């Protein structure tokens, strides 16, 4: 997507001429189709003039639109305008979703007052009808009337669905445009597909269907069902932005890539919500997140794109931790959460976006192995890879930084060679811990709820196995909990009994909450404790080093992750 699709597009001149001709044809056929359907003429409420000049002869208003438009909705005018007041802190480009109000017309005088008070704001008025995914229960006529009144109230752009535009006769459309221009407003024509994202050609067809109305802005919105759907949207944006001010977004969690990267692909702007919980469309992220976490204003074609892949993934702390490190070390890069349903989907996006590297979570850590061109010896031995780097040759290289995540916090506190370490659990995290600690010369013992799994892991990693009832009689230098016991939402609070806590140090890989019941108990007993937060930051710091070749700003990474975890716990 870095210029690749652009090369496939015809040069702007030719393409523009072709699109204009096809627009004319399209417009004529739309009018014919309209007449054939014998729809009732709907007079525009704002202008009775039969002599309105053709839209093209009036100047298109000059607009200040940034990359980010904050979509604001409210159940009442008070809520709508209070959110708009706060949204100004993030962007002076605001979309007013009037259709979320029970009586949108009643908010117009307040809208005018708001825009008079905030002359710096560029405003879009939208009053989407229910038939097209909005909340407005009124007729098409009522929608137009409202949009025109919003323009007269000072809105700079009005959004009309393509389906509504298609119901206008040519003279109606001309009068509508003339009335908008008399009010100093531009037209955005939009299409929303709430079920799917078509292939690039299909999206381009939709963009052309919209462009037939010669709006100032063409907006094509679809719904992502896979990560690869983002590629279709970005290709459409790259292609169409040569001819028009285009906005292209795929809704839904899988569509996040398009929300963040479409301006880089040439989109006029993208949309964000005013705040978490105040979204106007599925998958919308807050303006703060787009600006701070996903660096919308800094993204350019040199920006390296990394991802953290999994399902669920929305609440991953990796993007925050890595963007903090990127910013601190002046690395032009960003990390996006990627909701992955299939490995194939992830591999397509890695190859075609392309992605520079990915942090992978279970079960992808094992599934990805056959697709690696090479991997570090520990990854091969453990059979799990949590870090992918795309080489200059486009091939994928695999690393395991989970091991460092367990080993480093411990080796900072004790000599690992010869140390007796008990690992609780025999799952994915335990594999990294056991292989890593054995490699450092520790004598590792495994206890697991399902004993056979402990036996199998011990055999592979050259560790020892213990049964739970032998714990009270044994003493260790450290205990490492790799079970989810004690994690928020998990019923079982402690992985072992209090009298089995026979060690000088306890390391709990769980980090939600930061102070787990096991760590609290260990602390109360005067033992040294290590939080899973340290593992999370250490494995992330090694990923940063693999991706950037720079030393990771570990303390800064730790600080932001801890702060965010404490904020979430409130
Ligand atoms: P996993 O592969 O599902 O393994 C979980 C292990 O815990 C299995 O051995 C399982 O035993 C055992 N277990 C599960 N519930 C238990 C219970 N109620 N009582 C006793 N044992 C139980 O999971 P994982 O990927 O290894 O992750 C395990 C934990 O490590 C998670 O809570 C995660 O938060 C934490 N972790 C932290 C980091 C970090 O960066 N700090 C990184 C990775 C993982 P059975 O074999 O009997 O099912």
* Separation between Cα atoms, residue 499 and residue 180, nearest integer Å: 77
Q: Which of the residues 192, 245, 322, 381 is marked catalytic? A: 192
Look at the domain 66-184+269-299 and name its fold: TIM Barrel (3.20.20)
Q: Is the pLDDT of residue 440 over 80?
A: yes
Establish whether residue 453 lines the binding site of ligand 1, counting it when its CB lies within 6 angstroms of any ligand atom: yes
**DSSP-assigned letters across all residues of 494-556:** -SS-GGG--EEEEEE---SSSS-HHHHHHHHTT-EEEEHHHHHHHHHHHHHHHHHSS---HHH
Establish whether residue 507 lines the binding site of ligand 1, counting it when its CB lies within 6 angstroms of any ligand atom: no
Q: Whose CA is nearest to atom 7 of ligand 1?
A: 483
pLDDT digits (tens, 9 = 90+) for 110-127: 999 999 999 999 999 999
Look at the domain 305-400+539-569 and name its fold: Rossmann fold (3.40.50)
Q: Is the pLDDT of residue 95 over 60?
A: yes
What spacing in Å lies between the alpha carbon of 509 and ligand 1's midpoint? 9
Q: Is 365 a catalytic residue?
A: yes
Q: Whose CA is nearest to atom 46 of ligand 1?
A: 450
* One fold for 66-184+269-299 and 410-530: no
What spacing in Å lies between the alpha carbon of 318 and ligand 1's midpoint? 19
Q: Which of the residues 67, 149, 156, 219 is marked catalytic? A: 219
Q: Is the pLDDT of residue 220 over 90?
A: yes
Ligand 1 atom with minimal separation from the 491 CA: 18
Establish whether residue 362 lines the binding site of ligand 1, counting it when its CB lies within 6 angstroms of any ligand atom: yes
Establish whether residue 328 lines the binding site of ligand 1, counting it when its CB lies within 6 angstroms of any ligand atom: no
Q: Is the pLDDT of residue 5 over 80?
A: no
pLDDT digits (tens, 9 = 90+) for 295-332: 999 999 999 999 999 999 999 999 999 999 999 999 99
Ligand 1 atom with minimal separation from the 429 CA: 26
What spacing in Å lies between the alpha carbon of 485 and ligand 1's midpoint? 8
**DSSP-assigned letters across all residues of 473-487:** G--EEEEEE-S-TTS
Average pLDDT along the chain: 90
Q: Which of the residues 345, 402, 477, 508 is marked catalytic? A: 402
Q: Is the pLDDT of residue 35 over 50?
A: no
Q: Is 67 a catalytic residue?
A: no
- Kindly state the helix (H) or strand (E) to which residue 124 belongs, with its residue range: strand 122-126
pLDDT digits (tens, 9 = 90+) for 375-405: 999 999 999 999 999 999 999 999 999 999 9
pTM higher than 0.95: no
pLDDT at 58: 46
Q: Is 491 a catalytic residue?
A: no
Establish whether residue 492 lines the binding site of ligand 1, counting it when its CB lies within 6 angstroms of any ligand atom: yes
- The domain locations on the chain are 66-184+269-299, 305-400+539-569, 410-530
Q: Is the pLDDT of residue 162 over 50?
A: yes
Establish whether residue 451 lines the binding site of ligand 1, counting it when its CB lies within 6 angstroms of any ligand atom: no
Q: Are 59 and 84 in contact (CB under 8 A)?
A: no
What's the count of helices (H) and strands (E) in the chain, helices before strands?
21, 20
Q: How many of the other CB atoms lie within 10 Å of CB of 301? A: 9
Give burial (CB, 10 Å; 0-12/13-18/19+) of 34. middle
Pocket test of ligand 1: the residue of 360, 447, 449 to mutate, having most ligand atoms within 8 Å of its CB, is: 449
Pocket test of ligand 1: the residue of 318, 360, 365, 427 to mutate, having most ligand atoms within 8 Å of its CB, is: 427
* Separation between Cα atoms, residue 42 and residue 156, nearest integer Å: 24
pLDDT digits (tens, 9 = 90+) for 260-301: 999 999 999 999 999 999 999 999 999 999 999 999 999 999
> 410-530: which CATH number, 3.40.50.720, 3.40.630.10, 3.40.1280.10, 3.60.60.10?
3.40.50.720
Q: Give φ, ψ of 124 to 5 degrees.
A: -105, 135
């Amino acid at each position: 997507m870095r210029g690749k699709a652009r090369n496939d597009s015809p040069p702007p001149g030719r393409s523009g001429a072709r699109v204009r001709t096809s627009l004319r044809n399209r417009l004529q056929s739309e009018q014919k189709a309209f007449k054939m359907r014998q729809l009732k003429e709907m007079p525009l409420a704002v202008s009775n003039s039969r002599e309105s000049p053709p839209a093209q002869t009036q100047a298109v208003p000059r607009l200040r639109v940034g990359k980010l438009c904050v979509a604001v909705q409210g159940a009442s005018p008070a809520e709508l305008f209070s959110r708009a007041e706060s949204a100004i802190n993030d962007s002076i480009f605001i979309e007013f979703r009037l259709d979320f109000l029970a009586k949108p017309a009643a908010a117009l005088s307040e809208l005018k007052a708001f825009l008079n008070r905030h002359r710096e704001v560029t405003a879009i008025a939208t009053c989407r009808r229910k038939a097209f995914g909005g909340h407005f229960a009124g007729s098409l006529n009522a929608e137009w009337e409202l949009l025109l009144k919003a323009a007269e109230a000072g809105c700079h752009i009005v959004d009309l669905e393509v389906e509504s535009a298609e119901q206008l006769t040519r003279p109606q459309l001309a009068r509508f445009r003339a009335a908008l221009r008399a009010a100093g407003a531009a037209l955005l024509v939009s299409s929303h597909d709430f079920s799917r994202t078509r292939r690039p050609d299909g999206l381009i067809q939709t963009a052309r269907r919209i462009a037939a109305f010669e709006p100032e802005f063409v907006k094509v919105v679809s719904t992502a069902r896979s990560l690869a759907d983002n590629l279709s949207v970005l290709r459409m944006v790259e292609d169409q932005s040569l001819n028009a001010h285009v906005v292209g977004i795929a809704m839904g969690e899988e569509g996040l890539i398009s929300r963040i990267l479409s301006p880089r692909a040439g989109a006029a702007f993208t949309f964000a919500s005013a705040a978490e919980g105040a979204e106007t469309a599925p998958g919308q992220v807050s303006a703060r997140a787009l600006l701070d976490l996903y660096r919308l204003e800094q993204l350019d074609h040199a920006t390296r794109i990394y991802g953290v892949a999994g399902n669920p993934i929305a609440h991953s702390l990796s993007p925050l931790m890595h963007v903090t490190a990127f910013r601190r070390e002046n690395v032009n890069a960003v990390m996006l959460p990627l909701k992955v349903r299939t490995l194939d989907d992830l591999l397509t996006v890695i190859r075609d976006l392309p992605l520079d590297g990915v942090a992978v979570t279970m079960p992808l850590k094992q599934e990805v192995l056959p697709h690696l061109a090479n991997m570090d010896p520990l990854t091969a031995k453990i059979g799990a890879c949590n870090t992918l780097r795309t080489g200059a040759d486009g091939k994928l290289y695999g690393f395991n930084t989970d091991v460092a995540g367990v080993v480093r916090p411990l080796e900072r506190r004790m000599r690992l060679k010869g140390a007796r370490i008990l690992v609780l659990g025999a799952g994915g995290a335990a594999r990294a811990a056991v292989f890593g600690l054995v490699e450092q010369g520790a004598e590792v013992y495994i206890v697991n709820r399902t004993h056979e799994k402990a036996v199998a892991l011990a055999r592979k990693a050259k560790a020892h196995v213990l049964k739970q009832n032998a714990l009270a009689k044994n003493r260790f230098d450290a205990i490492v909990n790799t079970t989810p016991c004690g994690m928020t939402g998990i019923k079982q609070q402690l992985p072992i009994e209090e009298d089995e806590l026979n060690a000088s140090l306890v390391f709990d890989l769980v980090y939600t909450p930061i102070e787990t019941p096991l760590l609290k108990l260990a602390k109360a007993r005067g033992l040294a404790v290590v939080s899973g937060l340290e593992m999370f930051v250490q494995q992330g710091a090694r990923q940063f080093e693999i991706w950037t070749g720079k030393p990771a700003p570990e303390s800064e990474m730790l600080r932001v992750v801890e702060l965010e975890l404490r904020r979430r716990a409130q």
